[in-house]
A and B are shown apart, each in its own frame.
Chain A
Amino acid sequence: MQGEVASVNQVFSGPITGNAILLLDREAALLLNRLLTDRPNVSGFDGAAREVITEVGNIILNACLGAFGNLLKIQVSFTVPALQIASVQSVLGSLIIENQPLEYALIIHTCFHLRDSDVRGYLVIILV
Protein backbone atom coordinates (compact mmCIF):
# COMPACT_ATOMS: atom_id res chain seq x y z
CA MET A 1 0.00 0.00 0.00
CA GLN A 2 1.37 3.34 -1.02
CA GLY A 3 0.62 6.86 0.21
CA GLU A 4 -1.97 7.78 2.78
CA VAL A 5 -4.08 5.03 4.34
CA ALA A 6 -7.01 5.00 6.73
CA SER A 7 -6.38 2.70 9.66
CA VAL A 8 -8.87 1.72 12.33
CA ASN A 9 -7.21 0.03 15.25
CA GLN A 10 -8.37 -1.53 18.46
CA VAL A 11 -6.26 -2.92 21.25
CA PHE A 12 -7.59 -6.18 22.66
CA SER A 13 -6.64 -7.82 25.91
CA GLY A 14 -7.36 -10.94 27.91
CA PRO A 15 -5.64 -14.33 27.60
CA ILE A 16 -4.11 -12.87 24.44
CA THR A 17 -3.15 -9.23 23.98
CA GLY A 18 -2.52 -7.33 20.83
CA ASN A 19 -3.70 -4.83 18.28
CA ALA A 20 -6.17 -5.40 15.46
CA ILE A 21 -6.00 -3.00 12.53
CA LEU A 22 -8.07 -2.51 9.41
CA LEU A 23 -6.03 -0.80 6.70
CA LEU A 24 -7.73 0.76 3.68
CA ASP A 25 -6.00 2.90 1.12
CA ARG A 26 -7.35 6.42 0.64
CA GLU A 27 -9.51 5.60 -2.40
CA ALA A 28 -10.99 2.45 -0.81
CA ALA A 29 -11.85 4.27 2.43
CA LEU A 30 -13.53 7.14 0.60
CA LEU A 31 -15.40 4.72 -1.68
CA LEU A 32 -16.66 2.82 1.36
CA ASN A 33 -17.93 6.05 2.86
CA ARG A 34 -19.66 7.07 -0.37
CA LEU A 35 -21.35 3.68 -0.78
CA LEU A 36 -22.70 3.67 2.75
CA THR A 37 -23.85 7.25 3.04
CA ASP A 38 -24.99 8.25 -0.43
CA ARG A 39 -22.80 11.29 -0.35
CA PRO A 40 -21.23 11.01 -3.82
CA ASN A 41 -19.46 14.34 -3.69
CA VAL A 42 -17.31 13.74 -0.63
CA SER A 43 -13.69 13.58 -1.71
CA GLY A 44 -11.87 13.97 1.59
CA PHE A 45 -11.87 12.72 5.15
CA ASP A 46 -14.33 15.12 6.74
CA GLY A 47 -15.75 14.48 10.20
CA ALA A 48 -18.67 12.39 8.95
CA ALA A 49 -16.45 10.25 6.71
CA ARG A 50 -14.06 9.63 9.59
CA GLU A 51 -16.93 8.50 11.80
CA VAL A 52 -18.34 6.14 9.17
CA ILE A 53 -14.95 4.53 8.49
CA THR A 54 -14.36 4.18 12.23
CA GLU A 55 -17.75 2.51 12.75
CA VAL A 56 -17.34 0.09 9.85
CA GLY A 57 -13.82 -0.76 11.02
CA ASN A 58 -15.15 -1.30 14.53
CA ILE A 59 -17.82 -3.72 13.27
CA ILE A 60 -15.32 -5.71 11.18
CA LEU A 61 -12.66 -5.85 13.88
CA ASN A 62 -15.17 -6.85 16.56
CA ALA A 63 -16.57 -9.59 14.32
CA CYS A 64 -13.11 -10.97 13.50
CA LEU A 65 -11.79 -10.82 17.03
CA GLY A 66 -15.02 -12.29 18.33
CA ALA A 67 -14.69 -15.18 15.87
CA PHE A 68 -11.08 -15.79 16.90
CA GLY A 69 -12.12 -15.68 20.52
CA ASN A 70 -14.82 -18.29 19.89
CA LEU A 71 -12.41 -20.53 17.98
CA LEU A 72 -9.82 -20.33 20.74
CA LYS A 73 -12.51 -20.53 23.45
CA ILE A 74 -11.27 -17.39 25.17
CA GLN A 75 -12.84 -14.04 25.91
CA VAL A 76 -11.02 -10.87 24.98
CA SER A 77 -12.08 -7.29 25.66
CA PHE A 78 -11.59 -4.43 23.25
CA THR A 79 -10.82 -0.74 23.48
CA VAL A 80 -12.84 1.84 21.56
CA PRO A 81 -11.45 2.06 18.00
CA ALA A 82 -9.10 4.84 16.92
CA LEU A 83 -8.84 6.15 13.37
CA GLN A 84 -5.55 7.34 11.93
CA ILE A 85 -5.00 8.82 8.47
CA ALA A 86 -1.28 8.47 7.70
CA SER A 87 1.26 6.46 5.73
CA VAL A 88 1.45 2.71 6.40
CA GLN A 89 4.93 3.16 7.84
CA SER A 90 3.68 5.83 10.21
CA VAL A 91 0.69 3.71 11.30
CA LEU A 92 2.80 0.63 11.99
CA GLY A 93 5.52 2.72 13.64
CA SER A 94 3.01 4.18 16.09
CA LEU A 95 1.91 0.82 17.44
CA ILE A 96 2.98 0.29 21.00
CA ILE A 97 1.07 -2.11 23.20
CA GLU A 98 1.85 -2.15 26.90
CA ASN A 99 5.45 -1.12 26.08
CA GLN A 100 6.17 -4.58 24.77
CA PRO A 101 7.94 -5.40 21.51
CA LEU A 102 5.65 -6.54 18.72
CA GLU A 103 6.42 -10.11 17.73
CA TYR A 104 3.87 -11.79 15.48
CA ALA A 105 1.42 -10.44 12.95
CA LEU A 106 -1.37 -12.12 11.02
CA ILE A 107 -2.08 -10.24 7.80
CA ILE A 108 -5.26 -10.91 5.84
CA HIS A 109 -5.97 -9.31 2.48
CA THR A 110 -9.70 -8.81 2.38
CA CYS A 111 -12.31 -7.58 -0.06
CA PHE A 112 -15.77 -6.23 0.72
CA HIS A 113 -18.34 -6.48 -2.01
CA LEU A 114 -20.87 -3.72 -1.59
CA ARG A 115 -23.42 -2.39 -4.06
CA ASP A 116 -21.54 -3.89 -7.01
CA SER A 117 -18.29 -2.28 -5.89
CA ASP A 118 -15.23 -3.90 -4.39
CA VAL A 119 -13.46 -2.30 -1.45
CA ARG A 120 -10.15 -3.98 -0.74
CA GLY A 121 -8.08 -3.68 2.36
CA TYR A 122 -5.92 -5.47 4.89
CA LEU A 123 -6.76 -6.81 8.29
CA VAL A 124 -3.70 -7.03 10.52
CA ILE A 125 -3.68 -8.71 13.90
CA ILE A 126 -0.53 -8.17 15.92
CA LEU A 127 0.15 -10.19 19.06
CA VAL A 128 2.55 -9.24 21.81
Chain B
Amino acid sequence: MDLEDSSKNERDSALLSWIQQFAPYGVFTLDNSLRVQSWNRWMELHSALTFAEVVGRPILEIYPDLVTRRLHKPFQRALDGESSVLSTALHHYLLPLATPSSGKKERMLQTARVAPLLTGQKHQWRRRGN
Protein backbone atom coordinates (compact mmCIF):
# COMPACT_ATOMS: atom_id res chain seq x y z
CA MET B 1 0.00 0.00 0.00
CA ASP B 2 1.50 3.36 -0.95
CA LEU B 3 1.10 6.65 0.91
CA GLU B 4 -1.73 7.79 -1.33
CA ASP B 5 -3.75 4.62 -0.59
CA SER B 6 -3.04 4.97 3.10
CA SER B 7 -4.22 8.59 3.11
CA LYS B 8 -7.37 7.66 1.19
CA ASN B 9 -8.15 4.85 3.63
CA GLU B 10 -7.75 7.23 6.55
CA ARG B 11 -10.10 9.73 4.92
CA ASP B 12 -12.68 7.02 4.18
CA SER B 13 -12.46 5.83 7.75
CA ALA B 14 -12.87 9.39 9.09
CA LEU B 15 -15.87 9.93 6.81
CA LEU B 16 -17.56 6.78 8.09
CA SER B 17 -16.87 7.87 11.63
CA TRP B 18 -18.42 11.28 10.88
CA ILE B 19 -21.56 9.64 9.44
CA GLN B 20 -21.74 7.44 12.50
CA GLN B 21 -21.48 10.33 14.97
CA PHE B 22 -22.73 13.50 13.30
CA ALA B 23 -24.83 12.78 10.19
CA PRO B 24 -28.14 14.67 10.41
CA TYR B 25 -30.02 11.64 9.11
CA GLY B 26 -30.36 7.98 9.98
CA VAL B 27 -27.99 5.41 8.51
CA PHE B 28 -27.93 1.74 9.31
CA THR B 29 -26.47 -1.31 7.65
CA LEU B 30 -27.76 -4.86 7.61
CA ASP B 31 -26.14 -8.14 6.72
CA ASN B 32 -27.60 -10.50 4.13
CA SER B 33 -29.98 -11.95 6.74
CA LEU B 34 -31.31 -8.43 7.38
CA ARG B 35 -29.65 -8.31 10.81
CA VAL B 36 -28.45 -4.93 12.04
CA GLN B 37 -24.70 -4.40 11.67
CA SER B 38 -24.46 -0.67 12.30
CA TRP B 39 -26.79 2.00 13.66
CA ASN B 40 -25.66 5.59 13.73
CA ARG B 41 -26.11 8.14 16.51
CA TRP B 42 -29.10 9.74 14.72
CA MET B 43 -30.83 6.35 14.71
CA GLU B 44 -30.13 5.91 18.41
CA LEU B 45 -31.61 9.31 19.21
CA HIS B 46 -34.75 8.97 17.09
CA SER B 47 -35.54 5.29 17.58
CA ALA B 48 -34.85 5.34 21.33
CA LEU B 49 -32.87 2.13 20.74
CA THR B 50 -29.13 1.97 21.29
CA PHE B 51 -26.77 0.12 18.97
CA ALA B 52 -26.23 -2.47 21.71
CA GLU B 53 -29.98 -3.13 21.79
CA VAL B 54 -30.33 -3.72 18.06
CA VAL B 55 -27.03 -5.19 16.88
CA GLY B 56 -27.47 -8.65 15.39
CA ARG B 57 -31.27 -8.45 15.52
CA PRO B 58 -33.33 -8.77 12.32
CA ILE B 59 -34.71 -5.38 11.28
CA LEU B 60 -38.06 -7.04 10.48
CA GLU B 61 -38.27 -8.24 14.09
CA ILE B 62 -37.47 -4.80 15.47
CA TYR B 63 -40.00 -3.18 13.11
CA PRO B 64 -42.59 -5.83 12.08
CA ASP B 65 -44.54 -2.93 10.63
CA LEU B 66 -42.16 -3.11 7.63
CA VAL B 67 -43.67 -6.45 6.56
CA THR B 68 -47.24 -5.30 7.15
CA ARG B 69 -46.62 -2.33 4.87
CA ARG B 70 -44.67 -4.46 2.37
CA LEU B 71 -41.61 -2.28 2.84
CA HIS B 72 -39.38 -5.31 3.41
CA LYS B 73 -39.29 -5.75 -0.39
CA PRO B 74 -36.74 -2.98 -1.08
CA PHE B 75 -34.35 -4.64 1.38
CA GLN B 76 -34.76 -7.98 -0.38
CA ARG B 77 -34.34 -6.37 -3.79
CA ALA B 78 -31.10 -4.75 -2.63
CA LEU B 79 -29.72 -8.29 -2.44
CA ASP B 80 -30.09 -8.42 -6.22
CA GLY B 81 -28.22 -5.15 -6.65
CA GLU B 82 -31.25 -2.86 -6.84
CA SER B 83 -31.37 0.60 -5.28
CA SER B 84 -34.77 1.91 -4.20
CA VAL B 85 -36.11 5.30 -3.22
CA LEU B 86 -39.13 5.65 -0.96
CA SER B 87 -41.00 8.93 -1.09
CA THR B 88 -42.74 10.66 1.75
CA ALA B 89 -45.84 11.26 -0.36
CA LEU B 90 -46.43 7.56 -1.05
CA HIS B 91 -45.24 5.95 2.20
CA HIS B 92 -45.01 8.73 4.79
CA TYR B 93 -42.20 6.87 6.56
CA LEU B 94 -39.95 3.82 6.35
CA LEU B 95 -39.46 3.20 10.06
CA PRO B 96 -42.10 4.16 12.63
CA LEU B 97 -40.06 6.78 14.46
CA ALA B 98 -41.67 9.36 16.70
CA THR B 99 -41.66 13.02 15.74
CA PRO B 100 -39.55 14.75 18.40
CA SER B 101 -42.04 17.54 19.10
CA SER B 102 -45.23 15.49 19.26
CA GLY B 103 -44.22 12.39 21.16
CA LYS B 104 -45.08 8.88 20.05
CA LYS B 105 -48.44 9.51 18.45
CA GLU B 106 -47.22 11.10 15.22
CA ARG B 107 -44.74 9.35 12.90
CA MET B 108 -41.75 11.26 11.58
CA LEU B 109 -42.09 11.73 7.82
CA GLN B 110 -39.17 10.19 5.97
CA THR B 111 -37.60 9.95 2.55
CA ALA B 112 -35.48 6.83 2.33
CA ARG B 113 -32.89 5.16 0.14
CA VAL B 114 -32.24 1.45 0.30
CA ALA B 115 -29.16 0.40 -1.61
CA PRO B 116 -26.73 -2.51 -1.69
CA LEU B 117 -23.50 -1.95 0.17
CA LEU B 118 -20.94 -3.83 -1.83
CA THR B 119 -17.99 -5.21 0.08
CA GLY B 120 -16.04 -7.26 -2.40
CA GLN B 121 -18.48 -9.82 -3.72
CA LYS B 122 -20.71 -9.67 -0.66
CA HIS B 123 -23.84 -7.59 -0.49
CA GLN B 124 -24.99 -5.71 2.56
CA TRP B 125 -27.61 -3.04 2.79
CA ARG B 126 -27.67 0.54 3.76
CA ARG B 127 -30.57 2.78 4.37
CA ARG B 128 -30.60 6.51 4.93
CA GLY B 129 -33.46 8.85 5.49
CA ASN B 130 -34.88 11.53 7.75
Known: A62-B84, A66-B82. A77 touches B89 (CB 8 A): no
Residue on B nearest A46 in the bound complex, by CB: B89
B33 at the interface (CB under 8 A from A): no
Question: Is A124 close to B, CB under 8 A?
Answer: no
How many angstroms from the CA of A66 to the CA of B116 in the assembled complex?
Answer: 15
Report the bound CA distance from A77 to B113 in whole Å. 15
A9 at the interface (CB under 8 A from B): no
A residues less than 8 Å from B15 (CB atoms): none
B89 and A37 within 8 A (CB): yes
A95, CB-defined interface residue at 8 Å? no
Question: Does residue A79 face the partner (Cβ distance < 8 Å to B)?
Answer: yes
A75 engages B81 (CB within 8 Å): yes
Is A14 an interface position by the 8 A CB rule? yes
Interface presence of B86 (CB below 8 A): yes
Q: Does A7 contact B (CB under 8 A)?
A: no
Interface centre among B80, B85, B88, B89 (most CB of A within 10 A): B89
Of the candidates B77, B85, B111, B115, the one having the most CB atoms from chain A within 10 angstroms of its own CB is: B85
- Asked whether, in the complex, the Cβ of A77 is within 8 Å of the Cβ of B85, the reply is no
Tell me the B residues contacting A by CB distance below 8 Å. 77, 80-90, 111, 113, 115-116, 118
4 tightest CB-CB pairs across the interface, nearest first?
A77-B81, A51-B87, A55-B87, A48-B89
